[in-house]
Amino acid sequence: MYSLLMNVFGGLAIFVFGMQLMSNGLQAVAGQKMQKVLQFFSANRFVAILSGTVVTAVVQSSGATTVMVIGFINAGLLNLTQALGIIFGANIGTTVTAQLVAFDIGCIIMPSIILGLVMTFIKNPVIKGWGDTILGLGLLFYGMGLMSGELKTLANNPKFLQAFQTFDCAPIDGSMPLVALLGAICIGIIATVITQSSSAVSVIVIALGSSGLINIYTAVALILGSNIGSTATAQLASLTANRVAKQAALAHTLFNAIGVLLICATFWWHIGDNPMPVFFQLVEWFSKGGDLPRKIANAHTIFNVCTTLILVAFIPLLAKICERIIPLGKDKIKFKKLEPHLLDTPAIALNQTVFALQRMVRKSWTMVNAAFKIYNQNDEKNQAVLKTLEEKEEKVDLYQQDITAYLSQLMRRHLTYEQTERIPNLLHCTNDAERIGDHALIIRNMMESFFKKNATLSEDSNAEFNNLFATLQSQASSTMELLENFSLEKMGETFELSGKMKLLCAESEKNHIDRLKKGLCKAENSLFYLELVAEFLKVSRHFENIAERASSCVGKTFEEA
């Protein structure tokens, strides 16, 4: 018995590992394409359902998709109505796993494992990704076969057979027993909450069915329970998220629970003299005499497709119900750009990091811009910015810490070669943005010290300062635009401004030394001016460093640009 149970759970472990490996491989191959699919979220509810179906079919887990959606909402990328469409689609997409394992394709298991393993040794990231996918597919079917084979042995054991018949949902006098039905649904819920995977539970149900331990009626009840249990993942993910994300998690639970109630209502509905409930008649018609595993997989798909078609028109109403149950309140909704739930979707997580970097660079430049304006543009608006300079500098430091910690966590995920290459460049840019903020405090202190002495610069020095400042403003603006909309044309313009800044700084130093020799400026102001020019050059170099890494940060190649 010990050996038999070890083989059953070992087969399940191999299956789950194969499913995870296949999911990682598909994400590695289609990571950027999946991101483009996600961009269609806001089109309409039907496109959102399609997007949710496709993405879930790739990641092989409705729980992973709904957690991703919670992350999108918490980051401000989706509203509640858009999210509901994706969640509806995720329920359909998760049935792909059951459909796959229902096929009897034992002949391809070993070739898939061998071919996939060989491909994983190839350094090309795309080929390696396909290798993981093929190897995962082979292991998935191998684990499924091992589990099913051992369960058939259990089916010959009267005690085990009797235990499974405790919640036998087969109709008695044309009606399904209510107590047994509720018991089987509860078992499906509990099993899914424990495993955190409705796909894994559906595969176990198919294995139990193929071994003869359960019938189609009990299998469907377990599948219904797994659909409700799958919402626990989203509920857990929403605990630390904003109230809109909590509304989405609630909507997921309500949708699946309502769907189960609708389907259960058909279990006491018969058409004509056929004693089989109408839902199972539909399953039989679609399966066209197929075996039990095929009927279970079809029942899973039919349930999710039918409930989605019925409830899709009620998405706005469901959203309003959730908003009534969990009101937003008077407080403004806070969005978290560096959302932890997006780390399992590296392509999206990297884009969120870029958004955070863009904001960080803008804040740093706002500080430096205000510090330079002290010299001759220190109006009330500028003084208001200067009053919070220390506070802004602390926020920029926090941005650096948050981005660094976020990227450190992302590096532990399964990344493509291109994604791995982007991370060091993002870290370098983050450091440059933080240093720009530091220079703002240095420049402000220099300015305040200079004006306390009632000192002034010569007319030529003033003209050079204005020229340097205007050029630096152009360079900063061009660099920030490059981070947001990368193009080769904009990159060339940015580097041209960077070169101009270097020449102007060198000329300003030379001209100042010449003026000092001729006695055209005061010696006591000399050090201030030279340090000021040095600050212009240092800030310019940090912007140049960011511009050099911009293409990698935003994930664009020169060919794409």
More confident residue, 514 or 164: 514
Residue 299 near residue 219 (C-beta atoms within 8 A): yes
The verdict on 354 and 237 lying in the same domain is: no
pLDDT tens digit sequence for 24-83: 777 666 655 555 555 555 567 777 888 788 777 776 667 777 877 887 787 777 778 778
What percentage of residues in the chain have a pLDDT greater than 90? 27
338 belongs to a structural domain: no
* Angle of CA points 378, 380, 384, to nearest 5°: 95
The verdict on 193 and 88 lying in the same domain is: yes
Range of the domain at 381: 343-553
3-state secondary structure 321-334: HHHHHCCCCCCCCC
The verdict on 409 and 309 lying in the same domain is: no
The DSSP symbol for 313 reads: G
The DSSP symbol for 337 reads: S
Q: In this predicted structure, what is the pLDDT of residue 403? A: 93
Number of domains making up the chain: 2
Q: In this predicted structure, what is the pLDDT of residue 37? A: 56
The verdict on 289 and 391 lying in the same domain is: no
Last residue of a domain, one of 270, 297, 325: 325
Token pair for 373: 């304006």
Last residue of a domain, one of 325, 354, 388: 325
Instruction: Give the span between the Cα atoms of 229 and 253, in whole angstroms.
Output: 9
The verdict on 298 and 361 lying in the same domain is: no
Instruction: Give the span between the Cα atoms of 20 and 433, in whole angstroms.
Output: 38
Query: Would you say residue 289 has pLDDT above 80?
Result: no
- Smallest CA-to-CA distance from 226 within 246, 244, 241, 206 is with 206
Residue 171 near residue 276 (C-beta atoms within 8 A): yes
Range from 181-195, 219-233, 428-442 that averages highest in pLDDT? 428-442
The verdict on 289 and 378 lying in the same domain is: no
The verdict on 253 and 393 lying in the same domain is: no
pLDDT tens digit sequence for 181-220: 899 999 989 988 887 777 778 888 888 888 778 889 999 9
Q: Which CATH number fits the domain that encloses residue 509?
A: 1.20.58.220
366 belongs to a structural domain: yes
538: Cβ–Cβ under 8 A, 6 or more apart, which residues?
A: 435, 439
The verdict on 49 and 86 lying in the same domain is: yes
The DSSP symbol for 197 reads: -
The verdict on 306 and 399 lying in the same domain is: no
336 belongs to a structural domain: no
Angstrom distances, CA of residue 505 to CA of 105, 445, 509, 534: 72, 21, 6, 8
Scanning 156-197, the segments in alpha helix (DSSP H) are: 158-164, 178-195
561 belongs to a structural domain: no
Residue 128 near residue 119 (C-beta atoms within 8 A): yes
- State the pTM of this model: 0.73
The verdict on 100 and 60 lying in the same domain is: yes
More confident residue, 525 or 220: 220
Last residue of a domain, one of 266, 290, 325: 325
Classify residue 61 by burial, with Cβ atoms within 10 Å: 0-12, 13-18, 19+.
buried
332 belongs to a structural domain: no
- pLDDT tier at 456 (50, 70, 90 boundaries)? confident
Token pair for 276: 């089989």
Instruction: Give the span between the Cα atoms of 506 and 221, in whole angstroms.
Output: 79
